[in-house]
Amino acid sequence: MGKILITGGSGFIGTNLIEKFKHDGFDVLNLDVKKPRNKAYIKYWKKTDITDLKEFKQVVVSFSPDYIVHLAARTDLDGRSLKDYNANTIGVENLMNISRDLILLKKILITSSMLVCKSGHKPKDQFDYSPTTIYGESKVLTEKNVWSRPPLCDWAILRPTSIWGPWFDIPYKTFFDMVLAKKYYHIGNKGCTKTYGYVKNAIFQIEKILFSDTNNDLNKVFYLGDYKPINIEVWGNEIANELGYSIKKIPFYIIKLVAFFGDFLKLLKINFPMTSFRLKNMTTDNIVNLENTKKIAPNLPFERRNAVRKTINWLKSNK
């Protein structure tokens, strides 16, 4: 059915994407500096540093893909300068240069982030950026590098929202783990409403975008996420209901004190599930416009309650 190159396929979304494309019969190659999370996919993996142009180009040209889904990136918020996010900047610049030598290439999807805009900001167009983190700034450069030297084939930019599900990690795995352990509490009456996305729905959206015509330069950016926003209290209660209990509330000021303690531990380079940044994120509404994506992938295959159940089962079987 063709060759699909996935950069960063060892990560959360990449693991699910490989599963989908292998199931559909594609020849898949994963380029990543890390081993796959799913050990069954090691046979599709080649260790590659995308910031090394010579190494990167040799592998890509040799594989000669029909399609590329570029996921590779540093995604944490701990970087102190843009140099810490070279995979997001130099890596994409390298890919754009390499793509021009791939005569069989039909389409590239380049993954950015919703954090190119701050929470609550509604961009007026695809060039309206407002990052508040260095990571967000690096993803702005990701997009600008694509626009400055676009591929010769069809292409599009993906901005995942808050994606969760099997093979995930922090922060939403932490959220699920805390609910499963009955250690999660609602934050007073500060629960926010956001655009979240079950990973299998995001994979469906990626697939539809990859194999659809996106040649209109006015519509190159596609957010990934479920079309109906949800309040985090409602979502937490849905998870807890599957486990047979109800989540209690803690006054906001207590959680705020805990967050300050988390900030202190972070200065000591000690990980803690709650910080002021995390608290602000958990109490700020962020509803994203998904109309572009909905036109291409109108009917998502998984409803949330079923997705919650599948995720809980995965967590229990992967302790």
Same domain assignment for residues 142 and 252? no
Same domain assignment for residues 45 and 155? yes
Annotate 61-90 with b (16+ C-beta within 10 A) or e (fewer).
eebebbbbbbbbbbbeeebeeeeebbbbbb
In contact, 48 and 59? CB cutoff 8 Å: yes
318 vs 168, more confident: 168
Quick check: is 246 in a domain? Answer: yes
Structure tokens at 115: 């954090």
Q: Which of 160, 181, 212 is the last residue of a domain?
A: 160
Q: Which of 106, 140, 160 is the last residue of a domain?
A: 160
Split into its structural domains, the chain has a count of 2
Which whole number is the average pLDDT over 222-245? Answer: 96
Quick check: is 297 in a domain? Answer: no
Q: Give the integer Cα–Cα distance in Å for 40 and 63.
A: 21
Amino acid at 208: K
CATH code: domain of residue 62: 3.40.50.720
Same domain assignment for residues 249 and 317? yes
Q: What is the 3-state secondary structure (H, E, C) of the chain?
A: CCEEEEECCCCHHHHHHHHHHHHCCCEEEEEECCCCCCHHHHHHEEECCCCCHHHHHHHHHHHCCCEEEECCCCCCCCCCCHHHHHHHHHHHHHHHHHHCCCCCCCEEEEECCHHHECCCCCCCCCCCCECCCHHHHHHHHHHHHHHHCCCCCEEEEEEECEEECCCCCCCHHHHHHHHHCCCCCEECCCCCEECEEEHHHHHHHHHHHHCCCCCCCCCCEEEECCCCCEEHHHHHHHHHHHHCCCCCEECHHHHHHHHHHHHHHHHCCCCCCCCHHHHHHHCCCECCCCHHHHHHCCCCCCCHHHHHHHHHHHHHHCC
pLDDT tens per residue across span 108-140? 999 999 999 998 889 999 999 999 999 999 999
Quick check: is 211 in a domain? Answer: no
Same domain assignment for residues 27 and 136? yes
Residue 95 has pLDDT above 90, yes or no: yes
Same domain assignment for residues 149 and 190? no
- In the numeric block, the tokens 């983190």 are attached to 133
Structure tokens at 287: 């509803």
Quick check: is 318 in a domain? Answer: yes
Q: What is the mean pLDDT of the chain?
A: 95
Query: Residue 279's pLDDT is what?
Result: 87
Same domain assignment for residues 36 and 114? yes
Quick check: is 295 in a domain? Answer: no
The backbone torsions φ and ψ at residue 238, rounded to the nearest 5 degrees and listed phi first, read -65, -40
Quick check: is 220 in a domain? Answer: no
pLDDT tens per residue across span 8-35? 999 999 999 999 999 999 999 999 999 9
pLDDT tens per residue across span 236-275? 999 999 999 999 999 999 999 999 999 999 889 888 878 8
Same domain assignment for residues 12 and 111? yes
Same domain assignment for residues 17 and 124? yes
Same domain assignment for residues 111 and 179? no
Residue 55 has pLDDT above 80, yes or no: yes
pLDDT tens per residue across span 234-246? 999 999 999 999 9
Residue 191 has pLDDT above 90, yes or no: no
User: pLDDT band at residue 62, thresholds of 50, 70 and 90?
Assistant: very high
| % of the chain residues with pLDDT over 70 | 100
161 vs 284, more confident: 161
Same domain assignment for residues 184 and 125? no
pLDDT tens per residue across span 146-186? 999 999 999 999 999 999 999 999 889 999 999 999 999 99
Q: Which of 160, 179, 214 is the last residue of a domain?
A: 160
Same domain assignment for residues 276 and 184? yes
Quick check: is 23 in a domain? Answer: yes
Residue 284 has pLDDT above 90, yes or no: no
Quick check: is 145 in a domain? Answer: yes
pLDDT tens per residue across span 301-311? 999 999 999 99
**pTM for this one?**
0.93
User: pLDDT band at residue 212, thresholds of 50, 70 and 90?
Assistant: very high
- In the numeric block, the tokens 């990626």 are attached to 206
Closest CA to 115 of 85, 151, 155: 85
Q: Give the integer Cα–Cα distance in Å for 144 and 115.
A: 15
Same domain assignment for residues 49 and 13? yes
Q: Tell me the residue range of the domain where 128 lies.
A: 3-160
